[in-house]
Structure 1
């Protein structure tokens, strides 16, 4: 099947699954139905094929701004599904699936950029994999933090209706948030350490902003985890730190790639 057609099929299935799941939530049926799981699984398979064939060809690996969107959104979805085995994160799918639809369409129809040689060293592959995985898990943490913020505010205002009625208890929501943060920070630590070890110059001119922003984000996340277990930080404090760190990561990754590839025309 041609790549653009695969992307369209994936996007349509993502939109359909998200719409159906949202309708179930509004009718007080928050569990994933068989239809949502089926459409989501087929969409994820098509998504994986689009990501693979967009990034890899016979001569090069395309990790440009547009192409990497499909890969990162794929990993985010897989990470969310893995967490669903033990935690009720299915509400996040209402937002993740439409965003994945947009990412897969952009990846399939956008031009190539950011080409690298097909052969990459194991150390660099470790750095790339850890970076993508950490970004995926911390994206889920940011989405979870947004839900915690809304839930905490509504509970304080004694409005236990709307979205609050569909969510698990606030204590469990916070527990899930910090589990995601712990996993994300461990992966981010591996990404940073492997960058120092295997990149030729992690503070080179075209990498220095990405490196500094990533290190500051790591400090913010680590401070939050320390504050959680030493000072008992919760709710809005956790939300502010989580979203602040994630904003820096977005600037570090997507901001640097946007400027380098689309503005300066460098890979």
Structure 2
């Protein structure tokens, strides 16, 4: 069965969902939010279906496949976050990015990508934990950007429609730290499971990934400690969140991009 039609439908649903969720920012009624979330839910389901079919039902960690997998998980977690705290701005950013990554993986990279190699259950568990931690911290980084926009608008006493569509500043900040706490816990488990399950990090080209992930763990740990000890918030929290996420993105995809896209060598 061709996966082109499900992929196209998922892309259309993602873009439609983002458009609908952006409606309150343009003055349209908030009642459209449910329709946008429903469209995004169908988009995530089709995205997952395409991932399973395009990569033989296996966990594929090649560059574009891994990007698409992360985008699918981030989109799914964004839906869950919106059920807990209605932050439509997240979907407006996440869903178009998921559509773009899905298009790149399915229409550009998939025809020439090698089949994924089978992985032991221990490595699969390690990857799943890392994927969830990375996805939660990705959402936290996007939320930090929205928080910075919100704070700047309030300080200038000119709250635009975007700011009015967001939850109160204190709720946004509380959600940010909840996500960071959960992501940090999963990042800790990622490092521990890596020590337990990965036998030879040099042979598996994971030295840079491990070092950078540890640096990101230290940054997020310092932020949480500073929040607990000194009440860090605002600009400092935003900057540390974005710095930690940048390092983590380099850990997950920087080395993989150099290895596969530039050096044309097999990744993990």
Q: Do these two structures clear the TM 0.5 threshold for a shared fold by scoring above it?
A: yes
Residue 60 of structure 2 corresponds to 62
Give 1:201 deviation, angstroms. 2.3
Residue 89 of structure 1 corresponds to 87
Question: 8 Å contact 1:66–1:107 — kept in the other structure?
Answer: yes
Separation in structure 1 between the aligned mates of residue 4 and residue 241 of structure 2, nearest angstrom: 36
Helix, strand or coil at the partner of 1:117: coil
Residue 206 of structure 2 corresponds to 207
Give 1:149 deviation, angstroms. 0.7
Separation in structure 1 between the aligned mates of residue 34 and residue 93 of structure 2, nearest angstrom: 19
Question: 8 Å contact 1:228–1:234 — kept in the other structure?
Answer: yes
Separation in structure 2 between the aligned mates of residue 94 and residue 105 of structure 1, nearest angstrom: 18
Give 1:86 deviation, angstroms. 1.9
Deviating more after overlay: 13-22 vs 196-205:
196-205
Pair 1:31–1:145, CA change in 2 (3 A): farther
Question: 8 Å contact 1:6–1:50 — kept in the other structure?
Answer: yes
Give 1:184 deviation, angstroms. 0.5
Separation in structure 2 between the aligned mates of residue 114 and residue 251 of structure 1, nearest angstrom: 23
TM-score for the superposition, normalised by structure 2: 0.92
Residue 18 of structure 2 corresponds to 18
**What is the aligned residue count?**
264
Separation in structure 2 between the aligned mates of residue 121 and residue 258 of structure 1, nearest angstrom: 23
Separation in structure 2 between the aligned mates of residue 88 and residue 33 of structure 1, nearest angstrom: 9
Gaps of 5+ in 2: none
Question: 8 Å contact 1:6–1:46 — kept in the other structure?
Answer: yes
Separation in structure 1 between the aligned mates of residue 138 and residue 31 of structure 2, nearest angstrom: 22
Gaps of 5+ in 1: none
Separation in structure 2 between the aligned mates of residue 192 and residue 144 of structure 1, nearest angstrom: 25
Residue 100 of structure 1 corresponds to 98
Separation in structure 1 between the aligned mates of residue 81 and residue 56 of structure 2, nearest angstrom: 28
Pair 1:31–1:127, CA change in 2 (3 A): farther
Kindly provide the CA deviation profile for residues 90-127 of structure 1, in whole angstroms up to 9, marking residues without a partner as x: 32001111011111111212135475432x22221111
